Amino acid sequence: MEFTAFAEQIRSGRPAKFPANANTLEFAQQLDAQDSLGHLRDEFIIPTKGSLKKKSLNGTLPDKQTLNGHANGVNGTNGANGSLEDDETPSVYFCGNSLGVPPKAVKEYIHAQLETWASIGVNGHFQGLDNSPLVCWQDMAEDVAKKSAHIVGALPEEVVMMNTLTANLHFLMASFYRPTEKKHKIILEWRPFPSDHKYAIESQVQWHGLDPAKSMVQIQPDENFYISTDLILKTIDEHAEETALILLPGIQYYSGQLFDMARITEYAQSKGIVVGWDLAHAAGNVELRLHDWNVDFAAWCTYKYQNAGPGSMAGAFVHERHGKVDTSQGKPKFRHRLTGWYGGDKSVRFNMDNNFLPTVGAGGFQVSNPSAIDLASLSGALSVFSKTNMTELRTKSLVLTAYAEHLLDTILATTAATGEPPFRVLTPRNAHERGAQLSVLLKDGLLERVTEKFVEAGIVCDKRKPGVIRVAPVPLYCTLQDVWKFMDVLGKAIA
């Protein structure tokens, strides 16, 4: 099977060698027919070309059968463009790096939560209903943590689902960023998402009475927006004596570069530096081994590649060595952290005796009661991951991005005679240095035209001014045909 052959080539570090007919829709259809994960697409509600035009609620979802058999059709419009058939065509949704599409299970799980609340009220804290997909509310955070552990390569007790990403970064830095007069610096990369840099890290530095200009070390990329592992290790060497923490993204949100987390973690820790990872663009996207890599802490959101909904509850990882609770001497001893009643062990959580005994593991970093509705949404989203694993998803993702890269190269080849290339790809060519995202920097003046053509064609793709489109075919619900259609529209838009 060609799909398997391509996957094996890429997994082994070799570039995929696509045949001469690879730039045809028939070739994409052939590969899709060989995709062992293709059935997972039917677990999701994917916007249609018609539903993207929706202006008001009318009680419909794009979740019925379309003419091509995929579970996507009715879109809640009245065929405003004159073609109901065209309106029922699934969109090409390449924006899962910003917000994933809803799994069908999310609606089921939220309805179960609302029925439980309406039926038994406060008793839902400790009592579940027999045929519900959900556990009782008090156990929900622990339940979704267990379901999330394999996604990030952690032990169940090393994961906690709480808050949102930036809040979790603050809570984790409150415990792990402990600057001294000598060791006070934080090493970060050049263009972190604002919540990680300008707001969270900078404010943590200022909270300790330090000057961000002196305590923040930013690693700058080369002219191709690439940050080599060697440069990161060199920066660690230069600042090791003064560095308290290194906090980097697993995947850089702008360029799509995947960092060598295992090597960087080991090297920084050998220099006595605490290591944290922001996995906003990595969790649910690439294979992670947080426990095996000995990572100190990590945080991630769940609305991108895990599809739990806008602003959904985030995750945090604390290595088991930092989550221990020693009660051998009577009064419990544990790692310093900001504490709250919900981080208390369930056996004493409702005792109200003001003697704090934290839950062992990452759960002991919880502060307050998590939203059961948010947890229901997350639990529904995670149910899809029980039907596959990160190795399978990563394998399909490698094929999707390799095919996208091949078609981008084909477009460049056909426009070579026109002079300046219409775009360049910022994301590393090495498949093992990227996730599902390819960042494409368009020539000046092209973004508006490309965006207009995408809207007309029912394509959803993230753009970053002045000229970057972040193309993300997510393996859970995107297809090789989606990739072909996207590139066909892009090629015509820039011709």
The DSSP annotation for 167-192 comes to: HHHHHHHHHH----SS--EEEEESS-
Does a structural domain hold residue 221? yes
Does a structural domain hold residue 333? yes
Same domain, yes or no: 374 and 259:
yes
Contact by Cβ (8 Å): 473, 436:
yes
At a CB cut-off of 8 Å and minimum separation 6, what does 27 contact?
19, 21, 484
Same domain, yes or no: 259 and 393:
no
Classify 459 as helix, strand or coil: strand
- pLDDT recorded at residue 193: 63
Tell me whether residue 291 is annotated as binding: no
Tell me whether residue 281 is annotated as binding: yes
Does a structural domain hold residue 417? yes
Does a structural domain hold residue 97? no
Q: Any idea what the CATH number is for the domain that residue 463 is in?
A: 3.90.1150.10
Please compute, for residue 100, the number of CA atoms within 13 A of its CA located in the half-sphere on the CB side. Answer: 33
Same domain, yes or no: 136 and 284:
yes
Same domain, yes or no: 402 and 372:
no
- pLDDT recorded at residue 108: 98
Instruction: Give the N- to C-terminal CA distance of the chain in Å, as an integer.
Output: 34
Tell me whether residue 194 is annotated as binding: yes
Same domain, yes or no: 353 and 400:
no
Same domain, yes or no: 212 and 337:
yes
Boundary (domain end) residue, out of 385, 417, 448: 385
- pLDDT recorded at residue 381: 99
Tell me whether residue 193 is annotated as binding: yes
- pLDDT recorded at residue 352: 73
- Does this model's pTM top 0.75? My answer is yes
- pLDDT recorded at residue 196: 60
Calpha distance 489→425 (Å, rounded): 17
116: its two tokens: 């439980």
Boundary (domain end) residue, out of 358, 385, 412: 385
Does a structural domain hold residue 75? no
Tell me whether residue 303 is annotated as binding: yes
Same domain, yes or no: 216 and 284:
yes
CB atoms within 10 A of CB 246: 29
Calpha distance 494→484 (Å, rounded): 16
Total domains present in the chain: 2
Same domain, yes or no: 284 and 201:
yes
Same domain, yes or no: 375 and 400:
no
Task: Please name which of 198, 155, 179, 306 lies closest in space to residue 242, comparing C-alpha atoms.
Answer: 179
Does a structural domain hold residue 70? no
Same domain, yes or no: 36 and 138:
no
Contact by Cβ (8 Å): 298, 317:
yes
Q: Any idea what the CATH number is for the domain that residue 303 is in?
A: 3.40.640.10
Calpha distance 405→170 (Å, rounded): 37
Task: Please name which of 138, 192, 140, 185 lies closest in space to residue 166, comparing C-alpha atoms.
Answer: 192
Same domain, yes or no: 354 and 463:
no
Tens digit of pLDDT per residue, the chain (495 long)?
A: 689 998 999 999 888 899 999 999 999 999 999 999 999 999 999 999 999 999 999 999 996 544 344 444 344 344 444 456 678 899 999 999 999 999 999 999 999 999 999 999 999 999 999 999 999 999 999 999 999 999 999 999 999 999 999 999 999 999 999 999 999 999 999 876 665 667 899 999 999 999 999 999 999 999 989 999 999 999 999 999 999 999 999 999 999 999 999 999 999 999 999 999 999 999 999 999 999 999 999 999 999 999 999 999 999 999 999 999 999 988 999 999 999 999 999 887 877 777 889 999 999 999 999 999 999 999 999 999 999 999 999 999 999 999 999 999 999 999 877 788 999 999 999 999 999 999 999 999 999 999 999 999 999 999 988 899 999 999 999 999 999 999 999 999 998
Does a structural domain hold residue 266? yes
Segments forming the whole domain that contains residue 434: 3-58+83-90+389-494
Does a structural domain hold residue 20? yes
- pLDDT recorded at residue 147: 98
Boundary (domain end) residue, out of 331, 351, 385: 385
Classify 14 as helix, strand or coil: coil
Task: Please name which of 162, 176, 177 lies closest in space to residue 208, comparing C-alpha atoms.
Answer: 177
Calpha distance 261→293 (Å, rounded): 8
Per the rule left: phi > 0, alpha: psi between -120 and 50, beta: everything else, 331 is beta
Same domain, yes or no: 312 and 438:
no
